[in-house]
Structure 1
Amino acid sequence: MEVLWWILIVVSFLIGFVGVVIPVIPSILMFWIGFFIYQFLISGYELGWIFWTTSAVLTVLLFFSEIIANSIFVKRFGGTKAGEYAAIIGVIAGMFVYPPIGIILVPVIGVFTVEFYQSRNRRQATRASIGSLLAFLASSLFTLLVFIFLVVWFILWVFVF
């Protein structure tokens, strides 16, 4: 039976990694499912408060990384405060509008629309909206790195510590 639980853990981690590319998959939830399977169905030993605290902090960071990245990148690419707000609202709305494409396109379109409306300068609006697209890519890379860290962290706790 333990082999079945380990297979489920590996599958949940793999689905979590797929969620980086397909944002509609609740990827971080898949990692937590794997952790809980180990904690409650395999091991009589606990993973430890350091493991759980670190994982929880990283989970919170992941939830806000896309929003923060959009705000930073739009500003860095010459967007206005209104463009930053459009990016934040776009990320949140994009989660519900035609996922997984919505989380990419809605912020980009929102930033372009707001920036173009304010400045009437297509080049500036395009530049700020490219910042929103790059923010998505940067936050996806950050998510991937956090997931790799979580898997390595889990393996170390299970087999080394």
Structure 2
Amino acid sequence: MDVLWIGLAFVAYALAVIGVVYPIIPSGPAYIFAIVFFGLYVGFGEFGVAFWVGQTLIVILLFVVDFMTSYYGITRIGGSKAAVWGSMIGLIVGPFIIPVLGIIIGAIAGAIIGELTAGGHNLKSLGKIGLGSLIGYLAGAVIKFIFLFIGLLLAGFSWWI
């Protein structure tokens, strides 16, 4: 049974990491499953309060980072909330239309379409908003990778110490 739990923990963690780049897979829930499966493997009694507080913060931050980096990247350049929502929709829909590049193209196109529906701007402004969407997405991905790595280190240290 131990092999099953550690195997499921590994798969769930891998899905969380893949979900950072491929937003169709939600990183937060996958990470929660990884921690639960790891707890079933190790035994939940091995983890102290600091571990659970740290893991809870990481899960919350995984959800918050997605929205905040897109929001900041787009609005900092002058985009509207419609551009932010368009970017998020583009991140989800884009990979279905163009499998590999759809994430990037979808985020940019979604932000531009969202901005156009909100009243539009000139072509230069729309290009900047698309770039802001891309920068926000990339920054969010880097931050989420860091949080997932910190969570993995926290689990490893809590188990071995």
State the identity as a percent: 26
1:154–1:131 CA distance, 2 compared to 1 (3 A): same
Q: Does 1:85 align with 2:77?
A: no
Correspondence for 1:159: 160
The letter of the residue matching 1:108 is I
- Does the 8 Å contact 1:73/1:131 carry over to 2? yes
User: How much has 1:43 moved relative to structure 2?
Assistant: 1.2
Over residues 7-50 of structure 1, what are the superposed CA-to-partner deviations in whole Å (9 max), with x where a residue is unaligned?
22222212221222222112222221121123245415142222
Q: Does 1:124 align with 2:125?
A: yes
Q: Tell me the distance in 2 between the aligned counterparts of 1:31 and 1:43.
A: 17
* SS of corresponding position for 1:45: helix
TM, length-normalised to structure 2: 0.78
Count of aligned pairs: 155
- Does the 8 Å contact 1:70/1:87 carry over to 2? no
1:42–1:144 CA distance, 2 compared to 1 (3 A): same
- Structure 1, unpaired ranges of 5+: none
- Structure 2, unpaired ranges of 5+: none
Correspondence for 2:35: 35
User: How much has 1:148 moved relative to structure 2?
Assistant: 0.6
* SS of corresponding position for 2:45: coil
- Does the 8 Å contact 2:28/2:63 carry over to 1? no
Q: Tell me the distance in 2 between the aligned counterparts of 1:107 and 1:40.
A: 38
Q: Does 1:47 align with 2:85?
A: no
User: How much has 1:88 moved relative to structure 2?
Assistant: 3.0
1:63–1:87 CA distance, 2 compared to 1 (3 A): farther
Q: Tell me the distance in 2 between the aligned counterparts of 1:70 and 1:40.
A: 35
The within-5 A match list for 1:105-120 is 105=105, 107-113=107-113, 114=115, 117-119=119-121
Q: Tell me the distance in 1 between the aligned counterparts of 2:131 and 2:94.
A: 20
Correspondence for 1:69: 69
1:96–1:110 CA distance, 2 compared to 1 (3 A): closer
